[in-house]
Structure 1
Amino acid sequence: MAVAQSEVFELAYRAWDAQDYASASPLLIEAARAAEAGGEGEEAQRLWFDAALAAKFLRDWPRALELGRTAASTAERDAQDPAFWNLGIAATVLHDWDVARDAWLGYGIRLTSTTGEVREDFGMTPIRLDPDGRAEVVWAQRICPTRAIVRSVPMRADRHFGDVILHDGAPNGQRIVGEATYSVFDEIHVWQPSDIPTWTVIVDADEPGAADLVETFEQHELGAEPASSMKPICACCSTGDVEQQHAAAHAAHGQLFYLAAPEATLFSLLHAWKSRDESERAFRDVTLIVDEGEGEDGVGGA
């Protein structure tokens, strides 16, 4: 490695170590070009990969796509090379489905669709929403290697049931449910927001009634979750292995539930649920959860 090239390399990774990716990116590109010119193919490939990764960290998606294609161009296909994964993320953000599909195939993932948006069933997974802020782990349905639809009711105002979340590919913790282990993936951003609002309601019901409330909303592809299902844990523990139990219905006299439904549907389902056992079921204090600073809107009960 020439002296000048070595200096650029050192400056690039000094900036990288300081998480100054804006400074590191052009230096990595310069070093990659120099390595290519010097016939150092493996070194150039690593530098192109890091340059693309820096663009990803900066959320400069057009640049991440451009550099990602360069990084993947010399990577071995069907060998789970992460250059293809990062390329797939950038292409998905930009809705470049041909590049995204080829990136997933290059990584070694088999797809059933051949054209258009990559949208398939990749199973359920836990997603950590807002990992750098008020992190909350929810369950979501993966529809491609890097997107998942939220199927829990987030207990916060800025995420919603039905949000399509773009998530990272590196697991950051595990959730163990029975004999199954699920990787936790961190949110990158909300790829497509849901317009389904979140509500809280106080519920009185016996155990079958509580179970019926959850099932009633699930049957309409909406969400209902008791606040008791939220288990606060520290950040360190959250990124480790956490055992979870299957949510079980229990008596809910005076219990807080989180619901996800349009307003008209919400009240229709609540009244239908209550009417199936008027003597044992009631709800009250229905409140719309809105973004912080906008307050909360109480809209009644029964």
Structure 2
Amino acid sequence: MSPSSDRSREDLVKEAYQAWDAEDWPRAAELMEAAVRVDPDARGADKLWFDAALAHKFLGNWQEAYDLGKEAAARATRGAQDPAFWNLGIAATMLRDWATARDSWIAYGINLPDGDGEIVANLGMTCVRINTATGQEVVWAQRLCPTRAVVRSVPFDTSRRRGEVVLHDGAPNGERIVAGTRFAVFDEIMLFEPSDVATLSVTVTATTADDLEALLVAFEEADFGAEPTNSAQLLCACCSQESIEVERATEAGQQVVLIAAPEPRAHEILDAWRTAAPDRRGWRGLHLAA
């Protein structure tokens, strides 16, 4: 049954939150919007505007999340970290309304560099739990704005790529600890921009762990990525959401390394690495990873 004008606002609100509790987001969004439009500025209307926008965000209905989010933000206090501005910032980013997105982050209380157009800042490294063809994977990423990050590590699942820009949520869901420094893990909302850098696979022989480390550094210094497959850490969903200490595993011996770089450049870097210590280093079988 669709919301009807002859039903009271209280009934609409009650049914809306029953749908919310059942995670029936289409019904919740419909009822909340119907209820709040009965009296847009009634007591508690700010929460209804916010929750209606949030339900549409869950559904990926970005235009509706944006429109309702603007109503919620209009009733929120600037500079007080009100989540209405955060959700509007996400919706505006998804619609590439950069002016509204920038104003939303500033209204939330985040300092951003001055500018117009697309927000491309350096807000530091973080971790993002991305969705892959085989499940989920936590990758390292550089934050471009409060809700977008570019993937900097090489995903082990080759359905995803280094260089992708992902839209992620604002609530941390776990953390990774590296040498005492803590990095939040954010859940991906969706892929924002794809990457055209495919993942390659190569078998390398490194006599020492330092030889392998030298290879990884060589790709990093060329602004590409390389990751030994034996450094993958398999975790259940619950454990992945906890605080976990991590370090990059570099071991001697023959092993498979995933590379994110154009094949000609990968070939050049591998050759230079081998030439620097030909008695200790070797590689073979560079190919597109399956």
TM-score by length of 1: 0.90
Moved over 4 A (4+): none
> 2:32 is matched by which residue type in structure 1?
L
Contact kept, 8 Å, 2:131 with 2:137, in 1: the verdict is yes
Q: Which moved more, 1:83-92 or 1:261-270?
A: 261-270
Residue 131 to residue 287, structure 1, CA distance change in 2 (3 Å): closer
How much does 1:272 deviate? 1.6
Change (3 A) 1:174 1:227: same
Aligned to 2:27: 23
Match of 1:300 in 2: none
AA in 2 matched with 1:195? D
Offset at residue 208 of structure 1 (A): 2.4
Task: State how 1:241-260 maps to structure 2 within 5 Å.
Answer: 241-245=243-247, 247=248, 249-251=250-252, 253-260=253-260
SS in 2 for 1:195: coil
CA distance, structure 2, for counterparts of residue 211 and residue 273 of structure 1: 11
> Cα–Cα, structure 1 residues 111 and 71, in superposed 2: closer, same or farther, change >3 Å?
same
Structure 1 unpaired stretches of 5+: 290-295, 297-302
Please give the per-residue CA displacement for 1:184-221, whole angstroms capped at 9, x wherever unaligned: 00111111111111012111012222111101111110
Q: CA deviation at 1:34?
A: 2.9
**Do structure 1's residue 237 and structure 2's residue 227 form an aligned pair?**
no
Match of 2:15 among 7, 11, 21: 11
1:128-159, CA deviations, whole angstroms, 9 ceiling, x for partnerless residues?
Answer: 01189611001100010001111100011221
Distance (Å, rounded) in 1 between the aligned partners of 2:158 and 2:246: 24
Q: Could you tell me how far apart the structure 2 residues matched to 1:207 and 1:105 are? A: 46
Alignment check: 8 A CA contact 1:131 1:187 kept: no
- What is the identity percentage for the equivalent residue pairs of Structure 1 and Structure 2? 46
Asked whether the 8 Å contact 2:231–2:249 carries over to 1, the reply is: no
Name stretches of at least 5 consecutive residues in structure 2 with no aligned partner. Answer: 1-5
Output the amino acid matched with 1:274. Answer: R
Q: Which amino acid in 2 is paired with 1:5?
A: R
SS in 1 for 2:76: coil
Q: Which has the higher strand share?
A: 2
SS in 2 for 1:116: coil
1:260 partner letter: A
Q: Secondary structure at the match of 2:170?
A: coil
Which amino acid counterpart does residue 50 of structure 2 have in structure 1?
F
Q: With structure 2 as the length reference, what TM-score do the two structures score?
A: 0.93
- Write the distance in 1 (CA, Å) between the matches of 2:176 and 2:228: 19
Q: Retained in 2: the 8 A contact 1:131–1:186?
A: no
Contact (CA 8 Å) 1:97, 1:117: kept in 2 or not?
A: yes
| Distance in 2 (alpha carbons) for counterparts of 1:180 and 1:141 | 16
Q: How many residues get paired?
A: 284
The CA deviation at 1:109 is 0.3
CA distance in 1 between partners of 2:236 and 2:287 (Å): 28
Check conservation: 2:16, 2:28, Cα contact below 8 A.
Answer: yes
- Equivalent residue, structure 1, for 2:264: 264
Task: Identify the range of structure 1 (142-151 vs 273-282) with the bigger mean alpha-carbon deviation.
Answer: 273-282
Show the 5 A alignment for 1:86-165: 86-130=87-131, 134-165=135-166
Letter in 2 for 1:178: A
Cα shift readout 1:73-115 (whole Å, capped 9, x = no counterpart)? 0101111111101100111111101000010011000111231
Residue 29 of structure 1: SS of its match in structure 2? helix
Q: 2:132·2:157 contact (CA, 8 Å) conserved in 1?
A: no
